[in-house]
Amino acid sequence: MMKKILLMILLLFLAFLPAIAQTTVNATGTALSATSTAAKEIIVAQDGSGNFKTIQAAVNSVRDLGQWRVMILIKKGRYNEKLVIPSWKTKISLVGEDNRQTIITNNDYSGKAFPGGKDAFGNDKFSTYTSYTVLVQGDDFTAENLTIENTSGRVGQAVALHVEGDRSVISNCRLLGNQDTLYAATETSRQYYINCYIEGTTDFLFGEATVVFQGCTIKSLANSYITAAATSPRQQFGFVLMNCKLIAADDVNKVFLGRPWRPYAKTVLLKCELGNFIVKEGWNPWKGDAMFKDKELTAYYAEYGNTGEGAVTTSRVLWAKQLNKKQAKLFTLKAILGGTDNWSPQAGK
């Protein structure tokens, strides 16, 4: 009887041995299965010294709807790609070697002829929504130490980064473009940008998402508008800029903090440094929009504790709000981005 029991234990051990042997630990200390793509970091290097020469090839290799985070380490180089992180590629992290020397670049813009005639939807030209250099549709995406740029110039709408996925974190990245540099898209998307540098001309922070920009440097390259939120009436928060520094090119002297792309746009600046190029009225109602009129009646634009010559609020438009200390305390990362799943971007959850 004892021999049979010992034999059964031995057989069970042998059955589970492969799974035990295949368990490893990734860079974050999380136990992973070796059969998973995330069991090892993926390296992209143009000289062939990594696993792939292009970032898109590395993304394509990741297991669909994987349960573990996949680290794609990108060596220095200029990667001429129109990169797509599709919705079924989740928990992907792009980590550059150096944010000035690891560059993802492209030059599509709205109105540019589509190569080969037409795209899959029959369009023969790019639009604002397809002009991106990088498109992120997958949830739980992170990017670090990268430059993402659209080099098409001042030709109209030309997006560098377009993010639709939920729970995205972009840190220590440079987002470069002109009009519409960053499209923070979809009302169900939560996005967190920390210690980033973002530059552009018109509406270069725009979209429907709930977004926090923390400790970012935001540079205006022309006399125009910085933000163009399209917040829906179902969202409590829209764009929130915390402890950011707003700067401008030398020849720029008339910049608005924002204008409402849609009637319920929400944008709040908290403890930001505003240069003297910010116009005294601060905000613009976008009166020329034929489809949506009187947006200043429903938009929510507010400020608290800002500094610098552009932070004087005595001549702000009457429909903008100046928060008191108690009101400003409601704007926390947990309140803005936590949601029903209690997401904490700083904890990497």
Identify the bridge partners of residue 206 per DSSP, sorted by sequence position. 183, 228
DSSP for 254-298, written as a single string: -BEEE--SSTT-EEEEES-EE-TTB-TT-B---TT-SSS--GGGT
**How far apart are alpha carbons 332 and 212 in whole angstroms?**
10
Q: What count of other Cβ atoms lies within 10 Å of the Cβ of residue 211?
A: 28
Identify the bridge partners of residue 143 per DSSP, sorted by sequence position. 94, 170
The residue from 47, 180, 251, 294 that is catalytic is: 180
Q: How far is CA 154 from CA 147, 158, 178, in A?
A: 19, 8, 6
- 203 among known catalytic residues: yes
**How far apart are alpha carbons 98 and 115 in whole angstroms?**
32
What sign for the dihedral angle of Cα 191, 200, 247, 99? positive
- 64 among known catalytic residues: no
The residue from 108, 139, 166, 203 that is catalytic is: 203
Chain-centroid distance of CA 39 in Å reads: 26
- Residues that are catalytic: 180, 203
